[in-house]
Amino acid sequence: MTSWSLLSEYFALILIVVIMLFFYDSKQVHSARRRLFWNCLLLSVASILLNIASVHAIENIGRVSVEVNKALNSAYFLVSVLMSTAITYYIFQRLLEFVYDKRCLQRARLALWLVLGVYTGLILWNLYSGVIFYFDQAGNYCRGPLNAAGFLAPVLEVGLVLVCYFRNRKSVGRAMVRIMWTVPPIVVLLVLYQVAYPEQLLNGTISALANLIIFISFQSSRIERDPLTGINNRRSFMEELTLRMAGRQNYQVILVALKQFARVNQVYGHSSGDAILFQVAGALQQFSAGGRIFRYNSVEFLLLIPGSDEKEREERLEQVLSCMRREWPLGESHVAVPFCAAELTYSGQDCTPEQIISYLEYCVRLGKEDGRELVRFDGETAQRHRRREYLIRTMQAAVRDGRFQVWYQPVYHRDTGSFDSAEALIRLSDEQGQPISPAEFIPVAEENGLIDALSWIVLEGVCRLLGSGTVPELKTVSINLSMQQFLRKDLTERIEDMLRKYGVAPERLKLEITERVLADNSQLARQTMEKMSRRHLEFLLDDFGTGYSNFSSVLGLPFEAVKLDRSLMAGLTNDPRSRLMADTIIPFFHKLGQQVVAEGIESREQAELALRCGADRIQGFYYARPMPESELAEWYRSRKKAAEHT
Ligand code: C2E
Ligand code: MG
Ligand code: MG
């Protein structure tokens, strides 16, 4: 009588139970895929238990009837193939996860049903024919001519998986590749060993090892999950995007960015903020059919859905938008969270996953800037994005090659009748030597952090000029400070270091900031300004009258002067209301102890009117256009000569 060693089966059983304990997590979303893996584990346990029971029954054939033995063995054969088919189907699902063409999965399913069907037929037939196993007269277990069919089935399934893998390997994820290089060889080797040494029962070991590798590769990988919401994270988004693009699959991406979420956290507390994020993730999940949802950033969610049906895409987008417009329940109350969505469709264009990300981020930025709810990455946006990328490249090259220049625009002072100050303005030309307006490149530099480098270029240029004494008429020069630069903690120290380096008194440098800087960070702004004023660094309020105007930001802040924007000055000669406004606000600033600079003065008439309204300084093309440093001294000389002649 054959005798079997059950040691490896017991060992496999313990291993699978351990995997089950680690896998079970009541707080996880019970997706269909998780359920399938759980069933694979259950089937593995059932198959091992049946195997152990069958062996014990055969060994006790005197006490256990042949019928029970037959039934136990048949059940074991059936369940073991059911288990291998379930594991194979799970592998197929993961293998084809990022393959849009679902016909592959359908074909795989059909093939597996076929294997299972034929095998079940064989088992049933075996009850009469004994082609797989039978019990002889003495009640001994005997192998039939087709006994190896039980092993043939998993080997066949491995073969199917391999074919599928090699056909779709471009779109197969990293974890799956690892599985493909480990599970099939292990299965084939152990099956061969089992056939050679039938008394060593290895079925349980094979399934336990396959389950273990799958578990380690996928199920235990918290790396790919966002711990708060349980959905996929940015890392898994990048992987899926890369794989889908490698397979040139069409897809739609919708990025939903929550706005002003810091306020939600501030007002309701962080745990309520978390609760809203959890709800948003859950609500968006319902639109991810056929695709997946990701938490891309703390307050940004992404839907990646394969397919190219335009109508479906539009409907989905509309549903996502209307879902996000709702108010989120929070205890007794409901909270509306403003958001901005970006949409992009990919249909095989030549670009990288990083570019796709940069397009989406750009759309969200545009949406936030313009207060739009939705920005699509269409032709126009693509063009703006290309220009922005070009500007970034050009600025980076210009910083590297020292191609930025500082120009100066002299400012007329009414009390002395001369041009005692100037404003420093940065200049950049493209590769063809065409000037690029700072109004275009400064906002881009502010967004991507380049502004810091630019600002120090200007500061150094100005300090060098003031320290050199080449233009003695120039008593002070003002520089423009961007928001980012103004908020730097070490701003005062860095400016003072630079002034010291070129031996320039702090009174000679003025700092221009706009109201936008103040509006966003009024408390910090006040502290910084007060600290710097104590060190004799004075401020000018730039662009007063350009939309952000708010008298409260000017009141009580230590501005040496206010610059009235060109748009206010433009109507001075022909619009009585502009005249009335100038007549009113200039004395107002004077009463606050602040001087007034009229900006953008282009004609003699405008200059005379500005002076008549009380402006203390005039800056504009009428007197001087911004000019490079090399022309500045000459300009002052020619002014002096002209003044001497008159
Ligand atoms: P801003 O600080 O208000 O600078 C004055 C702008 O008005 C300059 O434009 C100047 O050339 C222009 N301007 C002066 N007089 C006239 C005039 O009579 N008519 C007209 N039409 N324009 C006049 P620019 O140099 O193109 O600079 C635009 C803006 O870019 C600046 O406005 C400032 O906000 C920003 N910017 C320029 N240089 C820097 C810099 O070094 N750092 C930072 N952060 N921003 C800068
Ligand atoms: Mg300015
Ligand atoms: Mg200005």
Q: CA-CA distance, 408 to 619, in Å (whole number)?
A: 11
Q: Which residues contact 546 (CB under 8 A, 6 or more apart)?
A: 514, 565, 567
- Ligand 1 pocket member 288 (CB < 6 A): no
Ligand 3 centroid vs 394 CA: distance in angstroms?
A: 25
Ligand 2 centroid vs 469 CA: distance in angstroms?
A: 23
Ligand 1 centroid vs 547 CA: distance in angstroms?
A: 17
How many other C-beta atoms are found inside a 10 Å radius of the C-beta of residue 432?
A: 5
pLDDT of residue 645: 74
pLDDT of residue 553: 67
From 139-143, 189-193, 301-305, 422-426, the region with the lowest mean pLDDT: 139-143
More reliable by pLDDT, 221 or 150: 150
Strand extents, DSSP E, 279-378: 292-297, 300-306, 327-330, 333-336, 339-346, 374-376
pLDDT of residue 620: 97
pLDDT of residue 2: 60
pLDDT of residue 26: 52
pLDDT, average across residues 30-36: 77
- Ligand 1 pocket member 627 (CB < 6 A): no
Which one, of 445, 519, 427, lies nearest residue 482 by Cα? 445
Which one, of 57, 80, 78, 49, lies nearest residue 141 by Cα? 57
Q: How many CA atoms lie within 13 A of 130 on its CB side?
A: 10
Spell out the alpha helix ranges (H) of 286-346: 310-324
pLDDT, average across residues 436-442: 95
pLDDT of residue 74: 93
- Ligand 1 pocket member 425 (CB < 6 A): yes
Ligand 1 centroid vs 425 CA: distance in angstroms?
A: 6
Ligand 2 centroid vs 443 CA: distance in angstroms?
A: 14
Strand 627-628 vs strand 405-413: parallel, antiparallel, or unpaired?
A: antiparallel
b/e burial code for range 122-134 (CB count within 10 A of at least 16 → b): bbeebeeebbbbb
Spell out the alpha helix ranges (H) of 247-345: 261-268, 270-285, 310-324
Q: CA-CA distance, 611 to 634, in Å (whole number)?
A: 27
Give 52's pLDDT tier (boundaries 50, 70, 90): very high
Strand 300-306 vs strand 435-436: parallel, antiparallel, or unpaired?
A: unpaired
**Shortest-distance Cα residue to atom 22 of ligand 1:** 600
Q: Which atom of ligand 1 is nearest to the CA of 602?
A: 18
**Tokens representing residue 522 in the block:** 């009024």
Q: Is residue 31 pLDDT above 80, yes or no?
A: no
Which one, of 464, 468, 513, 511, lies nearest residue 492 by Cα? 511
Ligand 1 centroid vs 460 CA: distance in angstroms?
A: 18
Cβ atoms of residues 453 and 446 within 8 Å: no
* Residue 591, CA distances (Å) to 513, 546, 588, 596 in order: 21, 22, 5, 11
Which one, of 349, 368, 459, 477, lies nearest residue 421 by Cα? 477
Identify which ligand lies nearest to the alpha carbon of 442.
Answer: 1
Residue 624 three-state SS: coil
Task: Provide DSSP, 496-533.
Answer: HHHHHHTT--GGGEEEEEEHHHHHHTHHHHHHHHHHHH
Q: Is residue 29 pLDDT above 70, yes or no?
A: no
Q: Is residue 550 pLDDT above 70, yes or no?
A: no
Q: CA-CA distance, 597 to 590, in Å (whole number)?
A: 11
Assign a CATH topology to domain 7-223: Rhopdopsin 7-helix transmembrane proteins (1.20.1070)
| Domain range 225-377, CATH class | alpha beta
Q: Is residue 210 pLDDT above 60, yes or no?
A: yes
pLDDT of residue 50: 94
pLDDT in tens, 321-365: 999 999 999 888 899 999 999 999 998 888 899 999 999 999 999
Which one, of 178, 177, 295, lies nearest residue 236 by Cα? 295
Identify which ligand lies nearest to the alpha carbon of 411.
Answer: 1
- Ligand 1 pocket member 545 (CB < 6 A): no
Identify which ligand lies nearest to the alpha carbon of 482.
Answer: 1
Adjacency order of strands within the sheet including 232-233: 232-233, 292-297, 300-306, 251-258, 339-346, 374-376
* Residue 575, CA distances (Å) to 216, 500, 610 in order: 76, 47, 13
Q: Which residues contact 494 (CB under 8 A, 6 or more apart)?
A: 456, 459, 488
Cβ atoms of residues 397 and 451 within 8 Å: no
Ligand 1 centroid vs 437 CA: distance in angstroms?
A: 9
Question: To the nearest whole number, what is the mean pLDDT of the chain?
Answer: 89
Tell me the helices (H) and strands (E) count for the chain, helix number first: 24, 20
Give 219's pLDDT tier (boundaries 50, 70, 90): low
Which one, of 92, 217, 109, lies nearest residue 161 by Cα? 92
Ligand 2 centroid vs 452 CA: distance in angstroms?
A: 16
pLDDT of residue 519: 73
Give 216's pLDDT tier (boundaries 50, 70, 90): confident
Cβ atoms of residues 517 and 528 within 8 Å: no
Q: What CA dihedral angle connects 13, 19, 20 and 25, to 10 degrees?
A: 170
Q: Is residue 30 pLDDT above 60, yes or no?
A: no
* Phi (first) and psi of residue 146, to 5 degrees: -105, 25
More reliable by pLDDT, 207 or 256: 256
Cβ atoms of residues 115 and 157 within 8 Å: yes
Q: CA-CA distance, 507 to 217, in Å (whole number)?
A: 65
pLDDT of residue 578: 86
Give 14's pLDDT tier (boundaries 50, 70, 90): very high
Can you tell me which residue has the tokens 């089935």? 153
Ligand 2 centroid vs 141 CA: distance in angstroms?
A: 96
**Shortest-distance Cα residue to atom 17 of ligand 1:** 600
**Shortest-distance Cα residue to atom 27 of ligand 1:** 438
pLDDT, average across residues 226-232: 85
Domain boundaries, the chain: 7-223, 225-377, 390-640
pLDDT of residue 372: 93
- Asked if the domains at 225-377 and 390-640 fall in one CATH topology, the answer is no
pLDDT of residue 549: 60
Which one, of 534, 612, 601, lies nearest residue 567 by Cα? 601
* Residue 302, CA distances (Å) to 279, 281, 397 in order: 14, 9, 33
| Domain range 390-640, CATH class | alpha beta
Residue type, 464: R
Q: Which atom of ligand 1 is nearest to the CA of 599?
A: 15
**Shortest-distance Cα residue to atom 38 of ligand 1:** 425
Give 222's pLDDT tier (boundaries 50, 70, 90): low
Cβ atoms of residues 395 and 415 within 8 Å: no
More reliable by pLDDT, 61 or 498: 498
Q: Is residue 106 pLDDT above 80, yes or no?
A: yes
Give 28's pLDDT tier (boundaries 50, 70, 90): low
Q: Which residues contact 401 (CB under 8 A, 6 or more apart)?
A: none
pLDDT, average across residues 614-635: 96
**Tokens representing residue 62 in the block:** 């005197």
Q: CA-CA distance, 84 to 154, in Å (whole number)?
A: 6
Which of 409, 426, 440, 480 has most ligand 1 atoms within 8 Å of CB, for mutation?
480
pLDDT in tens, 463-478: 999 999 999 999 999 9
Ramachandran sector of residue 130 (left: φ over 0; alpha: ψ -120 to 50; beta: rest): left
**Shortest-distance Cα residue to atom 4 of ligand 1:** 425
Q: Which atom of ligand 1 is nearest to the CA of 445?
A: 44
Q: How buried is 76 (Cβ within 10 angstroms: 0-12 exposed, 13-18 middle, 19+ buried)? A: buried
pLDDT, average across residues 19-27: 76
pLDDT, average across residues 579-590: 92
Which one, of 581, 577, 572, lies nearest residue 551 by Cα? 581
